[in-house]
Amino acid sequence: MTRSNIPSMFSLKGKTALIVGGSSGIGRETAITFAEAGADVIVADINEENAKSVYHEMTKLGIKSKVLKVDVADASSVEQMINDLLSSFDSIDILVNSAGINSRVPAENLSEEDWDNVIDINLKGTFLCCKCVAKIMMKQKEGNIINLASMSGMIVNKDRTISAYCSSKGGVIMLTKSLAVEWAKYNIRVNALAPGYVMTPINPWMRDRQINKPTIDLIPMQRFAEPSEISATALFLASGASSYMTGSVLTVDGGYTSY
């Protein structure tokens, strides 16, 4: 890589990106960031109305976009999403799996239904989307998959009762590594992002430093992340700048897991 072509290494012009769970939070920010980098972006989410607002914001950037409704825990819904996508686009160059939920219930009180919901969406949903999209990427002989894991897949958050979430994200990390090894021969890269605490719109309470002081004190950088700081790292993984990376997990946590 030379200095003269470094800027172009981060361009996604000519690429088609599918952002699953792209209607809010990190997924939304990633969709917009990829559009700004020149990619055509499909936003898939169970919340179709929120996804449409992302669509309207992206089309202002002059790129081609589409909204698809999907339930990632349902294999037939995921397959339909891919069929609908291919009716308008010729390829899927990048897949970002950002759909996820949490259940903040002590393990001894966690219902089987709540456990299943978290695992089904966070882990099984990631697998189903990877599986369906990889079949397209295999035919293309190239592809790039980015899974949203979490620092909670590697450590237990202090004073948080999220056993199902931690288990699901730990599974996403190992799924990422497994698929990276299996699919390297098809020129498909599979990496994961492991964010720490991120100030997404659904967590307005994070803006109050006093309430969150015990948690902030555990972060060496002494603050929570902005969604754009996660999407910027996703852009690195989606771009040619990370061309020799697969099976990696990039932790973006302000140093939380360094202790």
Query: Which amino acids are annotated catalytic?
Result: 165
Cα gap 43→20, rounded to integer Å: 6
Residues 6+ apart with CB under 8 A from 140: 91, 92, 93
Other CB atoms within 10 Å distance of the CB of residue 71: 18
Query: What's the token pair of residue 252?
Result: 């973006």
Helix, strand, coil percentages in the chain from 3-state DSSP, rounded to 5: 50, 15, 35
What's the token pair of residue 201? 């719109």
Amino acid at 229: E
User: Residue 25 and residue 252: Cα distance in Å, rounded?
Assistant: 15
Give the residue among 118, 246, 252, 251 at the shortest CA–CA distance from 191.
246
The candidate with the shortest Cα–Cα distance to 30, out of 207, 195, 253, is 195
Tokens linked to 116:
């299943």
Q: Which of 81, 82, 91, 68 is nearest to 12 (CA)?
A: 91
